[in-house]
Amino acid sequence: MSFATVMMPLFVEVLLTFALLFWAGARRSGDLRAGTVKPEEIGLRELNWPQRTAQVSNAYSNQTELPTLFYVLTILAYFTHHAGTVFVVLAWIFVAFRLLHACVHVTSNIPNLRGMLFGFGSVVLAIMWAIFMIEVLVTDGWFLPL
């Protein structure tokens, strides 16, 4: 697989993360300028932001958690030559679940739906890691052929 083909899902995830970061920053700045919150009410990460701002901020924070494992895996898989078609398809599925999760997070924010999307994405990423680990161990001879 080409570098661009393998990295494209990662790039989309990064773009989603930055979009949420800038959106959250704009909402927070707007809340501070409007006087909706005062600096002393939020200076130590207190939960005093308006609900909508908290939704967007939480969606951004969530993009800095689980996707970290995706970033590491994608880079490792590419440079160890274990990023084939199955890897890229699973990467796109993972990113699709992250996009859907973020959409729910910043709109209806239905916890059960958001949790289900997070869970499916987590399972896809766990499968990606399992495949990668098995491939690496087989390649390095850790598993004896039967």
- Residue 139 half-sphere exposure toward CB, CA atoms < 13 A: 10
Higher pLDDT, 35 or 46: 35
Give one DSSP letter per residue of 101-125, joined into a string.
HHHHHHTT--HHHHHHHHHHHHHHH
Those residues whose C-beta lies under 8 Å from the C-beta of residue 78, and which sit 6 or more positions away, are 1, 3, 6, 7
Indicate the number of domains in the chain: 1
To 10 degrees, what angle do helices 51-63 and 3-34 make?
150
Looking at the domain assignment, is residue 144 inside a domain?
A: no
Those residues whose C-beta lies under 8 Å from the C-beta of residue 50, and which sit 6 or more positions away, are 31, 36, 37
Looking at the domain assignment, is residue 47 inside a domain?
A: no
The dihedral built from the CA positions of residue 143, 2, 85 and 132, taken in this order, carries a sign that is: positive
Percent of the chain, pLDDT > 70?
97
Supply the pLDDT for residue 94. Answer: 98
Mean pLDDT of 77-101: 97
Looking at the domain assignment, is residue 109 inside a domain?
A: yes
Looking at the domain assignment, is residue 76 inside a domain?
A: yes
Mean pLDDT of 72-101: 97
User: What is the pLDDT confidence band of residue 41, given thresholds at 50, 70 and 90?
Assistant: confident
Higher pLDDT, 38 or 73: 73
Report how far residue 35's alpha carbon sits from residue 54's, in angstroms, rounded to the nearest whole number. 16
Domain that holds residue 135: 3-21+62-139
Looking at the domain assignment, is residue 99 inside a domain?
A: yes
Looking at the domain assignment, is residue 146 inside a domain?
A: no
Looking at the domain assignment, is residue 14 inside a domain?
A: yes
Looking at the domain assignment, is residue 46 inside a domain?
A: no
Q: What is the mean pLDDT of the chain?
A: 94
